[in-house]
A and B are shown apart, each in its own frame.
Chain A
Amino acid sequence: MVIKSAEDLKRLKEEAKALTGIRAGQGVEIIVGMGTCGIAAGAREVMSAILEELNKRELADVRVTQTGCIGMCEKEVLVDVVRPGEKRITYGNVKPQDVTRIFSSHVINGQIVDDLVVAKLD
């Protein structure tokens, strides 16, 4: 590809931001419980589903991080979604097939998926 104008450069920049987006530390954060309990309950599969969703939707600024056991082992897999400036929402018993729903309604549109929520934190 050859950049022929300032507009071309802008377009390339938008594309390129996907490369470095997560280093900026902004945007939505998704936290997956990856303690032994979480992994036993299938956290790896949930994580894979999240990453797949991320790539499908090309969401470069969403940060996916992990955390250890927080003591609600029977509710694992636990997935937290934190939108900037909003409450930290914890979803429990998350299955890979729930991930698409969490993305389309909460991560992107800010609508909490009520039936999966186990906690809301400030």
Chain B
Amino acid sequence: MQLYRAHVLVCGGTGCVSSGSKKIQEAIVDELAKQNLDKEIKVVETGCHGFCEMGPIVIVYPEGTFYCQVQVDDIAEIVSEHLVKGRIVQRLLFKAPLTEEQVPSYKDIAFYRKQHRVALRNCGHIDPEHIQEYIARDGYEGLAKALTTMTPQQVIEEMKKSGLRGRGGGGFPTGLKWEFASKSPGPKKYIICNADEGDPGAFMDRSVLEGDPHSVLEGMLIGAYAIGADEGYIYVRAEYPLAIKRLKVAIAQAEELGLLGDNILGTGFSCRLHIKEGAGAFVCGEETALMASIEGSRGMPNPRPPFPAVKGLWEKPSNINNVETYANVPVIFLHGAEKFASMGTENSKGTKVFALTGKLRNTGLAEVPMGISLREIIFDIGGGIMEDKKFKAVQIGGPSGGCIPEEHLDTPVDYDSLIALGAMMGSGGLVVMDETSCMVDVARFFLNFTQKESCGKCTPCREGTKRMLEILQKICDGNGVPEDITTLETLGAVIKNTALCGLGQTAPNPVLATLRYFRHEYEAHINDKKCPAGVCTALLEYKIVAENCKGCGACARVCPVGAITGEKKEPHEIDTSKCIKCGSCIEKCKFNAIVKG
């Protein structure tokens, strides 16, 4: 085996690929060859590091130097300075946002310091297309322990003891789910992985699949052993081509080593895993719809009971967990359930990966222990709000969740506290909004998403979300009436209680949560015909502040409809009946003389 004195890790996650990491990787390989270093320095393509904002990311070991926003032009310098002479290229280091201080190493960056990586333990540290690198970091040891030293019943007990709950949204205890499936009689059972990650802004499952696919396979194998399954499916959306490719490579390599297939580790346990590509319907993330889709039927949910544990895929007992849930499983068996249960809160154990998006300084993936406050996630890890604007709300749990205002930011985050606040853990998407976001508009955005993704099978979801959306549209257009608020609340409650599946049952959440915390914004839209955040165009009016206007005429020249008039060097005026509210004049004005409101 060839040993190398340095490893150059180039992020090959989707985020960094889109900012050009493939070209960077090629450039490094070329430059190393040019300087005759290719025999002593190895280039490794890894999965996502989570700090996508700063991509493309390149890490050089043994020093562990973290270079960010690397460009092709920087490569020659990295090679000849760092890799030849050992001099770190200072200008490419991460700069701490407040102190401007350069931070050379991974572990010292604030974004990573508060994180505790369990599900993401290998992401960014290993080459996901190389099973040996996974094995070197304790890979498949949890499986070996479960298969060789424990009975399926003991595996289930261990899972129950760990307190792991489903990371896909519902938060159902995983050990209990496995127990149900194991107790269902029958010679044929299935283990299924839900990788149909569809929440806008959530990408933790994709990152795990791209960065550490074997951890998911290992988790599924342990689950299969526990429930008595010998076959399984990974249902992954077709929009994740890189995740699918790496899963395929991982399955092939595991089969080659005998870690998948017949008589695994000589224990007599056999299991095969297949990949099923989904076609991008959001509802297929619901377990009964997902199974219908695997069977080749239209992806529509079915009433439960019967639950999948009793009658699942092809009417056989099945167990479905999400990607992040499975990625946690090997750790539980490697270090024991007690160690796992020592993290988190009383009823929510372990860690949760959040996808930080929206108006934050540091967007990306953050894995934190349960029980941390939202404030720590947003301000310490996320670096606070961009351009020092004021925080307004955070939408948690995607289109099924709700938004949480400033006064609840110190609540410890776990499954139950979020439900109490009218939101939910969901898959863990965090969309941060500042003072320039209109909460009615935000609710409309999320409802528009779920309404479009409604499969149409049950009336409450098909008709109810449509009617709610129409009312929100009406309010944003300035045609709302006071009764609309009560209608929204009534409709929301009915849909929650009567919809067939999780999609419909949670679809009203963004509306209900905004009504709970930002009712005054709805009232301003309806009663005063004003949008306080200045987002809903129909409710805006552009005005020129006479004292600030110098009469330069720049706004009049840029106005596409000729709505601005005035004498030279005299304050101008906007004819609001002509104004189309395009905002061009505001952009052009150098004297801040034009305001909207």
Stretch at the interface among A9-17, A90-98, A103-111, A113-121: A9-17
Cα separation A55 to B2 with both chains bound (whole Å) = 6
Q: Does B85 contact A (CB under 8 A)?
A: yes
B136 to A19, Cβ gap below 8 A? yes
Cα separation A63 to B62 with both chains bound (whole Å) = 6
B132 to A67, Cβ gap below 8 A? no
A16 to B132, Cβ gap below 8 A? yes
B62 to A22, Cβ gap below 8 A? yes
Name the one of A6, A47, A51, A54 contacting B265, with C-beta atoms under 8 angstroms. A6
Stretch at the interface among B140-148, B241-249, B458-466: B140-148
Point out the residues of chain B lying under 8 angstroms from A9, CB to CB: 135, 140-141, 144, 265
Q: Which residue of B lies closest to A34 (CB)?
A: B85
Q: Does B1 contact A (CB under 8 A)?
A: yes
Point out the residues of chain B lying under 8 angstroms from A15, CB to CB: 1, 132
B85 to A51, Cβ gap below 8 A? no
Beyond A3-B258, A35-B85, whether A22 also contacts B4 by CB under 8 A is: yes
Q: How many residues of A contact B (CB 8 A)?
A: 40
B5 to A51, Cβ gap below 8 A? yes
Point out the residues of chain A lying under 8 angstroms from B63, CB to CB: 65
Cα separation A12 to B84 with both chains bound (whole Å) = 32
Question: Which residue, of B130, B135, B145, has the highest number of chain A Cβ atoms within 10 A?
Answer: B135
Cα separation A66 to B39 with both chains bound (whole Å) = 16
Q: Does B108 contact A (CB under 8 A)?
A: no
Complex A-B: 22 CB contacts under 8 Å: A1-B257, A3-B257, A3-B258, A3-B265, A6-B144, A12-B132, A13-B136, A16-B132, A20-B7, A20-B125, A22-B7, A25-B64, A34-B86, A47-B5, A50-B5, A51-B3, A55-B3, A59-B3, A64-B5, A66-B83, A66-B85, A68-B87
Q: Which residue of B lies closest to A54 (CB)?
A: B3
Which applies to chain B's interface (DSSP): helix, strand, loop or mixed? loop
Question: Which residue, of B86, B130, B132, B138, has the highest number of chain A Cβ atoms within 10 A?
Answer: B86
Cα separation A32 to B125 with both chains bound (whole Å) = 26
Question: Which residue, of A9, A35, A47, A48, has the highest number of chain B Cβ atoms within 10 A?
Answer: A9
- Give the shortest distance, in Å, between B583 (CB) and chain A (any CB): 50
Point out the residues of chain A lying under 8 angstroms from B86, CB to CB: 31-32, 34, 65-68
Q: Does B544 contact A (CB under 8 A)?
A: no
Point out the residues of chain A lying under 8 angstroms from B85, CB to CB: 34-35, 66, 68
- Give the shortest distance, in Å, between A58 (CB) and chain B (any CB): 7
Point out the residues of chain A lying under 8 angstroms from B7, CB to CB: 20, 22-23
- Give the shortest distance, in Å, between A69 (CB) and chain B (any CB): 9
Q: Does B137 contact A (CB under 8 A)?
A: yes
Point out the residues of chain B lying under 8 angstroms from A13, CB to CB: 135-136, 138-139, 141
Interface residues in chain B, defined as those with a beta carbon under 8 Å from any beta carbon in chain A: 1-7, 9, 39-40, 61-64, 83-87, 125-126, 130, 132-133, 135-141, 144-145, 147-148, 256-259, 265-266
B133 to A20, Cβ gap below 8 A? yes
5 shortest interchain CB distances as A-B pairs = A66-B86, A63-B62, A16-B136, A16-B132, A2-B258
A22 to B61, Cβ gap below 8 A? yes
Q: In A46-105, which residues have CB < 8 Å from any B CB?
A: 47-48, 50-51, 54-55, 58-60, 63-68
Cα separation A50 to B6 with both chains bound (whole Å) = 13
Point out the residues of chain A lying under 8 angstroms from B3, CB to CB: 18, 51, 54-55, 58-60
Cα separation A6 to B39 with both chains bound (whole Å) = 33
Name the one of A16, A22, A25 contacting B135, with C-beta atoms under 8 angstroms. A16
- Give the shortest distance, in Å, between B300 (CB) and chain A (any CB): 42
B141 to A25, Cβ gap below 8 A? no
- Give the shortest distance, in Å, between A2 (CB) and chain B (any CB): 4
Cα separation A1 to B125 with both chains bound (whole Å) = 25
Name the one of B133, B256, B259 contacting A19, with C-beta atoms under 8 angstroms. B133
Cα separation A13 to B266 with both chains bound (whole Å) = 17
Question: Which residue, of A19, A29, A58, has the highest number of chain B Cβ atoms within 10 A?
Answer: A19
- Give the shortest distance, in Å, between B133 (CB) and chain A (any CB): 6
Q: Which residue of A lies closest to B141 (CB)?
A: A9
Cα separation A5 to B2 with both chains bound (whole Å) = 26
Name the one of A3, A29, A34, A68 contacting B259, with C-beta atoms under 8 angstroms. A3
- Give the shortest distance, in Å, between B384 (CB) and chain A (any CB): 31
A19 to B132, Cβ gap below 8 A? yes
Point out the residues of chain B lying under 8 angstroms from A1, CB to CB: 257
Point out the residues of chain B lying under 8 angstroms from A25, CB to CB: 61-62, 64
Cα separation A59 to B39 with both chains bound (whole Å) = 16
Cα separation A50 to B144 with both chains bound (whole Å) = 37
Cα separation A16 to B1 with both chains bound (whole Å) = 9
Beyond A6-B148, A66-B84, A68-B85, whether A20 also contacts B2 by CB under 8 A is: no
Point out the residues of chain B lying under 8 angstroms from A54, CB to CB: 3, 5
Q: Which residue of A lies closest to B258 (CB)?
A: A2
Point out the residues of chain B lying under 8 angstroms from A67, CB to CB: 86
B136 to A17, Cβ gap below 8 A? yes
Cα separation A3 to B85 with both chains bound (whole Å) = 42
